[in-house]
Amino acid sequence: MGNRLTKIYTRTGDDGSTGLGTGARVAKEALRVEAMGEVDELNALLGRLLAAKVPNAAHECLVRVQHELFELGSELCLPGTGYIRLGEAQVTRLEHETDFFNEPLGPLKEFILPGGHVWAAEAHVARTVCRRAERRLVALFRAETGNPFSAQYINRLSDLLFVMARWLNLQAGQSDVLWHQLDSGA
């Protein structure tokens, strides 16, 4: 590992800029910094979900995802260096994990609302932030070159989190919360 931080505050960001891993300074509202922040928020939400002591299969999967999200953050922090950590293998693994968690679930015939057991609700919150991270990555990669597998990874991860939310409800003995159209007379 590189330099260790001995002092957390540096005052270098007081001017509205932040440093990348390359040493470059960019505006804190830059697309790259926005994308890094969304990935970091998603990782924090997965940490909160893990703190809720989810079943072992979900735990193992999410711990691996947390490490990969950290790797994605490092990719984003080191633009133009060729530092790539996510690839086709990670995208394919997320697809297999989604299939694993989806296998015991009944077919989805209706829209569901976030909720049920607290595990599922937390997974749904993480899913929505994952979608926001995906939107930021898409915007960034339209403006600058990026690792296409990173965007694919985030897209698959949101699918996994949706399926995992349903699976977590099943594991907790809770039903998914089904959406019901409002009565037009309301």
Q: How confident is the model at residue 186 (pLDDT cuts 50, 70, 90)?
A: low
pLDDT digits (tens, 9 = 90+) for 69-95: 999 999 999 998 989 999 999 999 999
DSSP character at residue 132:
H
- CA–CA distance, 175 with 153 (Å, rounded to integer): 28
Contacts of 66 (CB under 8 A, 6+ apart): 43, 46, 47, 50
Contact 77, 143 (CB under 8 A): no
Domain range list for the chain: 24-78+96-104+112-174
pLDDT digits (tens, 9 = 90+) for 3-27: 676 766 667 566 676 777 878 887 7
Whether 1 shows a pLDDT value over 70: the answer reads no
Q: How confident is the model at residue 2 (pLDDT cuts 50, 70, 90)?
A: low
Q: What is the pLDDT of residue 30?
A: 87
- CA–CA distance, 132 with 137 (Å, rounded to integer): 9
Lowest mean pLDDT among 11-15, 145-149, 153-157, 159-163: 11-15
- CA–CA distance, 101 with 168 (Å, rounded to integer): 9
Q: Is the pTM of this model over 0.85?
A: yes
pLDDT digits (tens, 9 = 90+) for 33-52: 999 999 999 999 999 999 99
Q: Which fold has domain 24-78+96-104+112-174?
A: Hypothetical Protein Ta1238; Chain: A; (1.20.1200)
Contact 27, 17 (CB under 8 A): yes
Partnered with residue 27 across adjacent β-strands are 17
